[in-house]
Amino acid sequence: MDQLVITKAKELLEKTDGKICKHCFGRKLSPLMREENDNVKIAENVLEALQTDLGSDECVVCGNIFEKVDDYLFGRVYNKIDHLGVEFDVFMVGTTIPKEIKERDDELSNELDLNSEPIKKELNRIISDELSKTLGKTVNSLKQDIVVNVDIRKKPKVRLQLNPIYIEGKYNKLIRGIPQTKWPCSKCKGKGCEACNGTGKQYLESVEELLSEKILEATRGYEAKFHGAGREDIDVLMLGSGRPFVLEIKEPRIRKIDLEKLEKEINQANKGKTQYHNLKFTEKNRKGEIKQSSPDTFKVYNALVKCSGAFDEKKLEELSKLDEINQQTPIRVLRRRADKIRLKHVKNVETNIIDDTTFEMIVKTEGGLYIKELISGDEGRTHPNVGEILGVDAVCKQLDVLEVSEK
């Protein structure tokens, strides 16, 4: 056996007066014996080489904390999983130990100049290996369905962290008057009052809720959070191929659901109001990606424009030249957006005259440009704008989103 191992082992026994368990003894020496990954076996091999053994005194490093990893602890884990009815394939374990044990462990490693693995890492490994063998599940510290949190500071306690699932798709909104996400009552802020009939909601339905209700039921999830690639106003339709979104289901007890079947059921229930397409499972990073706007992303709108007086048809043709738009945060969204000027671009404009004061405008723009304000000017906060080009006051009477590019 390597002389350095023998030397460090003797120092370790002297430092602890032999009051150290095999887990901690082997763990401290493990960086010097990388051919073996079982800390107890490392301890036994070194003790055999030293022709000595450890006493039965309490370990001065961990306080015999490894003895708490017993049938009682595993029983608590299995009972918790069964009680919640949790479905999972991949998991990891996290442990909480007394602060003073960690401090003693770190202090001893520093004194002996040993780069030993932390106690928690060995505890996690021992518990994970047993659970994996018994349950037939996979351990993965990078990506998992659930985290088994074990608190062994006193009598072992077990808590399960159920990681979210993410579902990606597109939606169409076919009627006006439905917000994208749940809208709390403006008077009670969601608590429920006479004005909202105790619902806590400003509007009874939303694109989010019409989708999430059945998915929450199928997954037995705690709540849903909707992440859209932008949002249309409540009075605007979302047509074409739909707007991309990610639905986050928090604390799902069931993870394996038939999305194709659910999509059909949801669309049948919401026929004529909302429709959802191409539902599929996705990763957490997608909820951020679909929200990112860039010069390559675009949206296409169909706007019905009404003017205060007759417009000049030649000036209407000038709308096709619209390009750079300096748009200060619209007045109507100032309460929730920072007040600053944003440079946006119009990519294409087509018009169709209805009468001498009304026309239809198909406009393709960079993401993030407010169309209603592009038309009205928003008291000079958007420049150039349709009204100033035509020389008349102009307002958007009706707006539909025809296309939202995918990120």
Q: What amino acid positions are annotated as catalytic residues? A: 233
Whether residue 280 contacts residue 247, with contact meaning beta carbons closer than 8 Å, is answered with: no
How many C-beta atoms surround the C-beta of residue 252 within 10 A?
Answer: 26
The radius of gyration of the chain's CA atoms, rounded to the nearest angstrom, is 32
The edge-to-edge listing of strands for the beta sheet with 90-96 is 138-139, 90-96, 146-151, 157-162
Cα dist from 282 to 165, 178, 198, 289, whole Å: 8, 26, 35, 12
* 336 exposure class (CB count in 10 Å sphere: 0-12, 13-18, 19+): exposed
**Cα separation of 305 and 357, whole Å?**
8
Tracing tokens 């017993």 back to the chain, one arrives at 70
Whether residue 207 contacts residue 181, with contact meaning beta carbons closer than 8 Å, is answered with: yes
